[in-house]
Amino acid sequence: MMASAAFAVSSPAAPAVDARSKVLGGGKSQGRNGCRAGITRKVSGFCLHMLWNLDLQYSGVANFGRVMMALAVDVTRFDGVPTAPPDPILGVSEAFKADTNDLKLNLGVGAYRTEDLQPYVLNVVKKAENLMLEKGENKEYLPIEGLAAFNKATAELLFGADNPVIKQGRVATLQSLSGTGSLRLAAAFIQRYFPEAKVLISSPTWGNHKNIFNDARVPWSEYRYYDPKTVGLDFEGMIADIEAAPEGSFVLLHGCAHNPTGIDPTPEQWEKIADVIQEKKHTPFFDVAYQGFASGSLDEDAFSVRLFVQRGMEVFVAQSYSKNLGLYSERIGAINVVCSAPELANRVKSQLKRLARPMYSNPPIHGARIVANVVGDPTLFGEWKEEMKEMAGRIKNVRQKLYDSLSAKDKSGKDWSFILSQIGMFSYTGLNKAQSDNMTDKWHVYMTKDGRISLAGLSLAKCDYLADAIIDSFHNVN
């Protein structure tokens, strides 16, 4: 392998010793001898011999690239590393960028766009950032647990400032790397302290949930959630599966705006879910990535979490500010663990810190300050709620318009009203993989292959076009 590659070096050229020595591990200052020492460490005697001869015979730099290539082939450790498939959600954005057609529409990732389909930085975020600049704050490391003002604000936003669990100091809150990082940290905690326990995940769920628990080596199984026949919640199936799971499992629940289905349990159904989780001594684990985005109200969207907490249960909650404050790339969120005693919360927190330290040491400060400033300032807090209502309202408008367009254009009599009963950023269209492929290949509509479309990436002006694409894909592709 190496031999044939090395023999390919044929035209006269000087070995660029400095550069080659970098590749081979001998530093510039070591000169030729250093280079050879590097070679001796990394390649076979035969190759060493070949290169030594080249050194003596050739001058110029033209050949250097080929020599280097030959060595790179020989020394690789990566032969056994296959190319990973693109991410089912973030990979869609990459494919969208590469499409040059003017009609293209990105309904893949759940990221809010304006009516002009542009990314949106909230005004309150800009104001909070200006405040930060004015104060001239520094960039020192945060403690492992994050910014104290953020941790206080985020727990209060989630549970309600007057919630007894906060007053009694029963919540372990750690700022972490947005929703994903917070879930991952809790998964590591479960793996370490409950290695026998299983996590129950809804079927379907956000694609990354399975990756997170797989990578943390936490076993998981699915509970029924979506019923394609009713295009609604399979409540009986959900309850039966949670009931049948081994006692002491962790039950992953979407706090609101279930991703990808957009179907949430009713308050009465949440009560029953809490009943069975309590009976089976399971632990609820909420993923709250859309607080305020489902209904437009922060309190309403925290209903499920607060219900479980009010019942005196120990609860995990991962929070994200990607969507509701539009802080996607700031990676700001938190993991909260409600414990039955303050002393337990302290212990749990100390262990979460211990897990975070070797993973990423401590979290970034910028997003934490933004959240703390917005939530901590009554004026900014009020403005945020207004902006959130506007965002949630825009999504509701396109949802309605898409339904109207589909109903007007589709003459088959199909009932599209499920689109109106789904909530949050997404619509789960029921399109299968082949139909979703048709949406992309023929219509340049980028979406995930499970049939999910992000209405946050849709404008009123594009609803008719999207309706045409959906009708064509639904009726003409199997």
Tell me phi and psi for residue 70, to 5 degrees: -60, -40
Residue 447 Cβ vs ligand KET, minimum distance, rounded to whole Å: 11
Residue 323 catalytic?
Answer: yes
Nearest to 130 by CA among 319, 328, 377: 377
Who's near 307: CB < 8 A, 6+ residues apart?
A: 267, 270, 271, 274
Residue 394 Cβ vs ligand KET, minimum distance, rounded to whole Å: 17
DSSP class per residue in 135-169: HT---PPPPTT--HHHHHHHHHHHH-TT-HHHHTT
Helix (H) or strand (E) holding 19: helix 17-24
Residue 280 catalytic?
Answer: no
Return the number of the residue (320 or 422) whose C-beta is nearest ligand KET.
320
Q: List interacting residues with ligand KET (CB under 6 A).
A: 89, 109-110, 178-180, 206, 208, 254, 259, 287, 289, 320, 322, 328, 333
Who's near 161: CB < 8 A, 6+ residues apart?
A: none
Query: What 8-state DSSP symbol labels residue 442?
Result: T
Return the number of the residue (50 or 392) whose C-beta is nearest ligand KET.
392
Return the number of the residue (21 or 330) whose C-beta is nearest ligand KET.
330
Tell me phi and psi for residue 177, to 5 degrees: -85, 75
Choose, from 206, 220, 384, 416, the residue flagged as catalytic.
Answer: 206
Taking residue 134's Cβ as centre, other Cβ atoms within 10 Å add up to: 8
Residue 42 catalytic?
Answer: no
Residue 367 Cβ vs ligand KET, minimum distance, rounded to whole Å: 10
Return the number of the residue (109 or 294) whose C-beta is nearest ligand KET.
109
Q: What's the chain's length in residues?
A: 478
Residue 179 Cβ vs ligand KET, minimum distance, rounded to whole Å: 3
Residue 326 Cβ vs ligand KET, minimum distance, rounded to whole Å: 11
Return the number of the residue (170 or 331) whose C-beta is nearest ligand KET.
331
Which token pair is 31?
Answer: 């000169």
Choose, from 234, 241, 264, 287, the residue flagged as catalytic.
Answer: 287
Contact between 326 and 388 under an 8 Å Cβ cutoff? The reply is: no
Q: Indicate which residues carry an active-site annotation.
A: 206, 287, 323
